[in-house]
Amino acid sequence: MDRFADIQVLRYEVPAFEQLSLKQKCLVYYLQEAALWGRDILWDQNCKYNLPIRRMCEAVYTGYQGDKADPQWVAFEQYMKQIWFANGIHHHYSNAKFKPGFDQAWFEAELNKVEGKEALYAGYDFAEVERAIFDDNFLPIKVNQADGVDLIATSACNFYEGLTQQEVEDYYAKLKNPQDTMPVMFGLNSKLVKEDGKIVEKTWKVGGLYTEAIERIVENLNKAKEYAESDQQRKVIESLVTYYESGDLKDFDTYSIEWVKDLDSKVDFINGFIESYNDPLGMRGSWEGMVNFKDSANTARTEIVSANAQWFEDHSPIDDRFRKPVVKGVTAKVITAAILAGDSYPATPIGINLPNSNWIRAQHGSKSVSIDNITAAYDAAAAGNGFAEEFMWSEEEVEQAKKYAHYVDNIHTDLHECLGHGSGQLLPGVDPDALKAYGSTLEEARADIFALYYMADPKLVELGVMPDMEAYKAGYYQQMMNGLMTQLVRILPGDNLEEAHMRNRSLIAYWTLERAKMDEGQPALEFAKRDGKTYVKINDYKKLRQYFGELLGELQRIKSEGDFKAGRHLVETYGVKVNPELHAEVLERYQKLDIAPYKGFVNPRYEPVFNASTISDIVVKYGTENYVEQMLRYGRDYSALK
């Protein structure tokens, strides 16, 4: 499939869609329509110039009559594909703005050939839009998490206007009531702006910001409702519509609770302002959509893990005060993704754990899923690409990975999503946002270290979810190699680690490396050299597990106590900086393998088959369009915002 810059675009299949009932298929169909209609929202959230830039670029792209070997065109085509993939002009993972390889003069000349070009950027200052494309110093980074600067002023995301970070923090500090045991997630569904000296929340809702897109989402949710599998599922959809109409975050909580309760439906979905990684202050939710249905065979495995949630909580190496006396409602399932949309498209997570509200999770539980058809597509693409042979210390690790990697990957995801995020509790009175900009990284680290610690527990073998006491070693090696070295292929020379998951992996691996040096004798984990190349070497897997237990205890303490200083210290010391020599070496070795570090997906297409005026079937089609065709179709058919 399509390969450009650092991206490879794959396809995924939707096994067993044909086995759904007609009613379930219709439900999937309207839910995926509702998902696709949110695309423009995410584009606008990512940066305020993204939509006019996309429209201008698409007009130039589709109208181009010139020589396709012209280096200007070649560079422009790459830029077009990059911004499609990133849902905007900043890299989806590194957050850095793309550098266009074509000239401004060339672009303007091509744009001038477009009839009615003014309509493409109506309502925007054309000079500013062009600066957003061509001026490297203008809006250089989407989400800035650098220490010691104003994160609002230095981030390009479109969540705040005319405000300093201090003003935003003061505004929400006043709204938050520490006594409130059921606080809404402040700021989740609005843009915060200063108008005439006054701070105003502009809510994303029907009749508010993004109303044109949200109305189409609601229209399709209402159609989907007709095909709901149960009264509970109908309630879920209705409460989501209520929330989209009111914009009231209490309504969002109501919806989230109904959604958590709906465990029996085969079909499920996410649709809304969910994850806050794209806000430097971690409050505002990026629009995201996904429709899925349960993969019953694979779900049996995760059900065993979650049925034993209390055992894991009780045996976790954390202070008793931070332990949940009763772990509630940890449900786990394996799903088949039917459509990816918004912030889950084209790059997508392989696991989901929602809702994010702490008190809802504590009182009502959460739903945790891993997405098997996506993982399978990744694994198929990775098989035999030479990566393991290049970076692993010896034949032993390579063989271990071949034998166990897909297996431990799945277990890692189960433990991270089903148990990790849901474990532990805050001490009374601790602000859930106390860790501020470090919160996302530390939370991911906590869930990951939980998974790593338990991956090596004989309990998993006893439960039959791990085959033997060797398998976890493949997971440990993989995680240390990735965190210490190989994830660096995802960033450019000179860059720091910015993304929460990358920071978390680095934090865990480098903390462990340092910890290993403190014990006498050969360290359990070290860098080793051979033929001038650097490798990660694990000398003592059992000791490694002991260190992971220590780090889990500390990460839980930081979260439970809201210890911002200790959290910042961990992230800044182990999770941000990159050793430039090692980075250069890794990049050089990786380039020789010619593998794209980022992957994403083209969606399948769902088409209703009509018998007179009623739907007699929904068919899923895979090969009917490529990446470019899909992006152009989405831009044409699902663009609601002006």
Q: Read off the amino acid at residue 105.
A: A
Q: According to the binding rule CB under 5 A, does residue 447 interact with Zn ion?
A: yes
Provide, rounded to whole angstroms, the least separation between the CB of residue 421 and Zn ion. 6
- Which 152-211 positions form the footprint of Zn ion (CB under 5 A)? none
C-beta closer to Zn ion: residue 233 or 440: 440
C-beta closer to Zn ion: residue 14 or 442: 442
Provide, rounded to whole angstroms, the least separation between the CB of residue 351 and Zn ion. 7
Provide, rounded to whole angstroms, the least separation between the CB of residue 365 and Zn ion. 16
Provide, rounded to whole angstroms, the least separation between the CB of residue 615 and Zn ion. 37
606 and 178 in contact (C-beta within 8 Å)?
no
Provide, rounded to whole angstroms, the least separation between the CB of residue 308 and Zn ion. 20
- Which 426-445 positions form the footprint of Zn ion (CB under 5 A)? 444
Provide, rounded to whole angstroms, the least separation between the CB of residue 366 and Zn ion. 11
Give burial (CB, 10 Å; 0-12/13-18/19+) of 172. middle
- Which 286-305 positions form the footprint of Zn ion (CB under 5 A)? none
The Cα–Cα gap between 255 and 392 comes to 46
C-beta closer to Zn ion: residue 342 or 420: 420
Query: Distance from first CA to last CA of the chain, Å, rounded?
Result: 32
- Minimal CA–CA distance to 292: which of 344, 252, 365? 344
Count, residues near Zn ion per rule CB under 5 A: 2
Helix, strand, coil percentages, rounded to 5, for the chain: 50, 15, 35
DSSP string, 366-378: EEEEEEHHHHHHH
Q: Is the peptide bond before 346 cis (omega within 30 degrees of 0)?
A: yes
C-beta closer to Zn ion: residue 366 or 630: 366
Q: According to the binding rule CB under 5 A, does residue 371 interact with Zn ion?
A: no
8 and 311 in contact (C-beta within 8 Å)?
no
Specify the DSSP class assigned to residue 418: I
C-beta closer to Zn ion: residue 6 or 444: 444
Q: Read off the amino acid at residue 85.
A: F
Q: Is the peptide bond before 355 cis (omega within 30 degrees of 0)?
A: yes
DSSP string, 56-74: HHHHHHHH--S-TT-HHHH
Provide, rounded to whole angstroms, the least separation between the CB of residue 275 and Zn ion. 10
Specify the DSSP class assigned to residue 416: I
277 and 295 in contact (C-beta within 8 Å)?
no
C-beta closer to Zn ion: residue 77 or 433: 433
How do beta strands 366-371 and 330-342 pair? parallel
C-beta contacts of 171-177 below 8 A and 24+ residues apart = 171/199, 172/283, 176/431
* Cα 290 to the center of its chain, rounded Å: 12
Provide, rounded to whole angstroms, the least separation between the CB of residue 77 and Zn ion. 35
Residue facing Zn ion at closest CB distance? 447
Provide, rounded to whole angstroms, the least separation between the CB of residue 353 and Zn ion. 6
Site string for Zn ion, 390-429 (x = CB under 5 A): ----------------------------------------
C-beta closer to Zn ion: residue 241 or 354: 354
C-beta closer to Zn ion: residue 155 or 368: 368
C-beta closer to Zn ion: residue 44 or 444: 444
Q: Which residues would be at the binding site for Zn ion (CB under 5 A)?
A: 444, 447
